[in-house]
Chains A and B, each alone.
Chain A
Amino acid sequence: QQQVKQSPQSLIVQKGGISIINCAYENTAFDYFPWYQQFPGKGPALLIAIRPDVSEKKEGRFTISFNKSAKQFSLHIMDSQPGDSATYFCAALTYRRSGSARQLTFGSGTQLTVLP
């Protein structure tokens, strides 16, 4: 019920291309969906987040698409750059309930490599 499934496990994209990472969740109580970016030797850093009352959120080259009925959300990185090479994690939590659901449940991560 708490699981968040992420795919693909790894992704190689040419510079300038579009990177797409997908996540699916099961717990319909989730109401906050952030994406984190992690570079080697660093902790995850919040990249962009969305709530289920909107279907899309864009910040610069990063866009989250959200499909509430399918319980899926995805991260699109437009004009991918070598500096975007990192591991990306989707996550979910609920602010509406107490207990463990208020903690971030992470996907398994996607290692993105952008070739120059």
Chain B
Amino acid sequence: KAGVTQTPRYLIKTRGQQVTLSCSPISGHRSVSWYQQTPGQGLQFLFEYFSETQRNKGNFPGRFSGRQFSNSRSEMNVSTLELGDSALYLCASRDSFNSPLHFGNGTRLTVT
């Protein structure tokens, strides 16, 4: 099976802009989670979607949002970008809430 695929791999945006990141989970996996990874804060949970519904949300401002489509693909949107949003954004999928998470290689977002 193909792994979790994230696009694009790299993004450079300007402060105040918005950005959309995409994630295709492993075939058959219905749960998609998003994590932010930074040197200072480490890996932090953003939100999880299962069957097109947000099931859990981490402690991030409302500028961070996501959605999941009927084919389980997911997108994450960040509006009004701030310099502190520069990070590696990781998507992970699992086939059920009791299964291990499988991560993609992330999208590196740089905000200038």
Asked if A and B bind, the verdict is yes
Interface residues of A (CB under 8 A from B): 34, 36, 41-46, 49, 89, 95, 99-100, 102-109
Q: Give chain A residues whose Cβ lies under 8 Å from the Cβ of B100.
A: 34, 46, 49
Q: Which of B59-110 contact A (CB under 8 A)?
A: 90, 92, 97-98, 100-106
Identify the closest chain A residue to B3 (Cβ): A43
- Nearest 3 CB-CB pairs, A to B? A43-B103, A106-B43, A103-B45
Give the number of chain B interface residues (Cβ < 8 Å). Answer: 22
Q: How many contacts A-B (CB < 8 Å)?
A: 48
Please tell me if the beta carbons of A100 and B104 are within 8 angstroms of each other in the complex: no
Q: What's the minimum C-beta distance from A43 to chain B, rounded to whole angstroms? A: 4
Main secondary structure of the interface of B (DSSP, over half): strand
Q: Do B56 and A44 touch (CB < 8 A)?
A: no
Could you tell me the distance in whole angstroms from the C-beta of B1 to the nearest C-beta in chain A? 15
Q: What is B's interface to A at a CB cutoff of 8 Å? A: 4, 33, 35, 42-45, 48, 56-58, 90, 92, 97-98, 100-106
Cβ of B102: which chain A residues have Cβ within 8 Å of it? 46
